[in-house]
Amino acid sequence: MARDYNNGVEELLAVGNLDLMLVFKGMLLQPGTLNRFKRAGTPCFCFYPDVSFQDHGDNIPECLSLYDVVFTSKRYHLEDRGLDGEGADWCFAPHGFDPEVHRPVLGEGMAEGCYASDVSFAGHWSAKKQFLLEQLVGALPEIGLKIWGPGWGRASPEVLRFWQGRAAYGDELAAIYSLSKINLGLLSEAGRGTSQGDATTARTWQIPGAGGFLLHEDTAEIREAFAVGREVALFANGAELSREVTRYLGDEPLRQSVAAAGHQRAMSEPYTYARAVDIILERLASHQLEKQAKGGASAAR
């Protein structure tokens, strides 16, 4: 699969005069493939969405120094200077939501029966997330919880019984976020080579974008983005998680008011992926000007 993927990418070299090679994460992209685009004079950018550069195979760390610019969705990566090697410039570009995908969905019949729940979490398994959910179901054993995402087959029996057996993407995510009374914004812990874990993640923006009620781990970044108690709800530990779930399940008018205000904030800022697109395009324009300036200086010599 990796060989076919790289062969397919290299076929794009025949297009000629490419403005940009933009790699999303790049787990399968091999350094040799990336170098062929660089030799052809194509700017090579990477948008990196995850916590660690070392937990997803060898290609990612081997390619990092080859990019012209690495755009990271994690601010703390800019301080973890041991990660970047040599060569690439680094820039923060935030996660967001796609308003054509992450939008309010009305459910009825089978759809509502499949996706509706008291509490939902959609995302990868991790030990920290499992621990928080164990505390939640320990305090509220009758909770109507649904877990969607890869890796939860390794979860403890207390949590495994709530797993839906698979991940959810696209329209299904929008349905889950819209039809769950409470959506959990659980964050990933630190990975190899990183100083800390997430402060925000894609769920931070996608749940309000879909009109869902967001109960998020308490971080400085979420407090900068949304008004606490008015647009989102926060928790700092397992005890607070259970307490806030109980509070908001028991107060539907307040829950709906917070969800509506969070959706309005997400749409009005806007917290869409357009923010990242603008940053990438601005950096591309700057890169092109730098390249032209260097070419002019070489011609003058």
Interatomic CA distance for residues 175 and 169, integer angstroms: 10
Interatomic CA distance for residues 127 and 278, integer angstroms: 35
- Tens of pLDDT along 167-202? 999 999 999 999 999 999 999 998 887 888 899 999
Q: Which two tokens stand for residue 117?
A: 């729940």
Q: Are 122 and 102 in contact (CB under 8 A)?
A: no
- Tens of pLDDT along 227-240? 999 999 999 999 99
pTM recorded for the entire structure: 0.90
Kindly state the percentage of the chain with pLDDT values over 70.
Answer: 94
Q: Which two tokens stand for residue 92?
A: 């923060």
Domain 2-95+273-300, classified CATH 3.40.50, yes or no = yes
Interatomic CA distance for residues 220 and 85, integer angstroms: 28
- Tens of pLDDT along 79-132? 875 555 556 799 999 999 999 999 999 876 667 789 999 999 999 999 999 999
CATH class of 110-268: alpha beta
Interatomic CA distance for residues 157 and 149, integer angstroms: 16
- Tens of pLDDT along 244-283? 999 999 999 999 999 999 999 999 999 999 999 999 999 9
The pLDDT value recorded for residue 211 is 97
Instruction: Delimit the domains of the chain by residue range.
Output: 2-95+273-300, 110-268
Question: Is 60 in a helix, a strand, or coil?
Answer: helix
